[in-house]
Structure 1
Amino acid sequence: MTVRLTLISPGTSGALRDVRFDDDSPLDDEGIARAEAVASAVAASTRAYCSPSARCLRTAQALGLAPEAVAELAGCSMGRWRGRSLAAVAAAEEPAVAAWLSDPTAAPHGGESLRDLRVRVGGWLDTLQAGSGRVHVVAEPDVIRAATVHALASPDEAALRLDVRPLVAVHFSGRAGRWNLRVGETLRPESE
């Protein structure tokens, strides 16, 4: 049995625009409009899931999906850095940011390490292979990075080298305990 999984990043929010560690800010008006405009590019699926954040749920709804929010797909817990800009955190805690950016086991913010995120997301991803059919997941960019690293059995450090833009689809097909990746595409309205 083959699972065809499409991971979709959410539309824009205030945290994304301000380059802040996410604080569950809602999708902004432009993010909603863009997601609604590209809904026709999202094929029907047998199952739909999303990160439990407000912007992922709203993006999924704008894309015409009726997702189940899954705790294992939550974005990385950023502890005391939550809601703060990367620039402000780097200015106040330069060695901590350097450690976080170089060591996937580091969690100087008091939250979750990138390795812990990958293990959590990877565990959920592996459960999908028990079924078949088309699955859509609207997930935070760090969750998509973690899923990609896990699926390709790449080192955890690779997650820091992956850029996930708003409303990008990353496609996987999985069976027999392995995943294949079709590199992402930006969702576009059918008229473009």
Structure 2
Amino acid sequence: MTTRVTLISPAMNPAVREARFDDGCSLDAAGAARARSAADEVRQAATALVSPAVRCRQTAAALGLHVRDEPALAGLDMGRWRGLTLGEAAAREPEALARWLADPAARPHGGESVHLLCARVGGWLDEAARTSGRLVAVVEPEVVRAATVRVLGAPEDAFWRIDVAPLTATAFTGRAGRWNLAPGTALGRTDGTPTQRPGR
């Protein structure tokens, strides 16, 4: 039995451009247009899910996916830092931010730690591995990072060393309790270069 999971990161929005912890803002015009241009690169799977965040729902809609919310794939809860830029968090609570970046178990913002996120996403992957077929989900970049850490068996402090660009598809193929990873493929390129269809 083989399970194929494709995780798609959301298109560009102001929070990403400003290096700001997501506060529920919408896609910007360029991000929405790029997502619409990628619609024919992503085919509907038997199971299509979405992180319950505005930018993920809007990306899924632009891609033409018929999705349902999956709370287990929600982004990292940033507590009182929600909506702040990284620079603002550093200015207000420099020691707390440094601790959070260095220790996966730390949650000085009062939200969720990287460790808890990795455990949550890892549990979801374990459940996904029990079913065969294709699954597509539009999720926050940190969910892709957490899944990558779990699939590779990497230490959780590797979380911050994984870059996930907007509107990329990362594929995970599971069989016999083992996952393989195909790193992110850009969707909706604007230079006319053909893109590989994820999950095919």
- TM-score when scaled to structure 2? 0.92
Q: For the Cα contact (< 8 Å) 2:42–2:63, is it kept in 1?
A: yes
Determine the structure 2 residue equivalent to 1:148. 148
What displacement does 1:188 show? 3.1
Query: Which residue pairs with 1:44 in the alignment?
Result: 44
Structure 1 residue runs of 4 or more that deviate by more than 2 Å after TM superposition? 188-192
Letter in 1 for 2:139: A
Query: 1:1-192 maps to which residues of 2 (within 5 A)?
Result: 1-188=1-188, 191-192=192-193
CA distance in 2, matches of 1:101, 1:139: 21
How many residues align structurally? 192
Gaps of 5+ in 2: 194-200
Q: Tell me, in whole angstroms, the C-alpha distance in 2 between the residues paired with 1:129 and 1:173.
A: 9
Contact map agreement 1:41 1:189 (CA 8 A) in 2: no
Of 48-57 and 174-183, deviating more is 174-183
Q: CA RMSD in A?
A: 1.3
Per-residue CA deviation, residues 73-97 of structure 1 (Å, 9 max, x unaligned), is 1111001100011101101111111
Please say which of residues 78-87 and 176-185 is displaced more in the overlay.
176-185
- Over residues 13-67 of structure 1, what are the superposed CA-to-partner deviations in whole Å (9 max), with x where a residue is unaligned? 1211111111111112211110000111113311111100011011011111111
* SS at structure 1 position matched to 2:160: helix
- Following the alignment from structure 2 to structure 1, what is the Cα–Cα distance between the partners of residues 158 and 113? 14
Provide the rounded CA distance (Å) in 1 between the counterparts of 2:55 and 2:177: 31
1:111-158 per-residue CA deviation (whole Å, 9 max, x = no partner) reads 100000000111111101111111111000011100111111111111
Aligned counterparts of 1:99 and 1:114: Cα–Cα separation in 2: 12
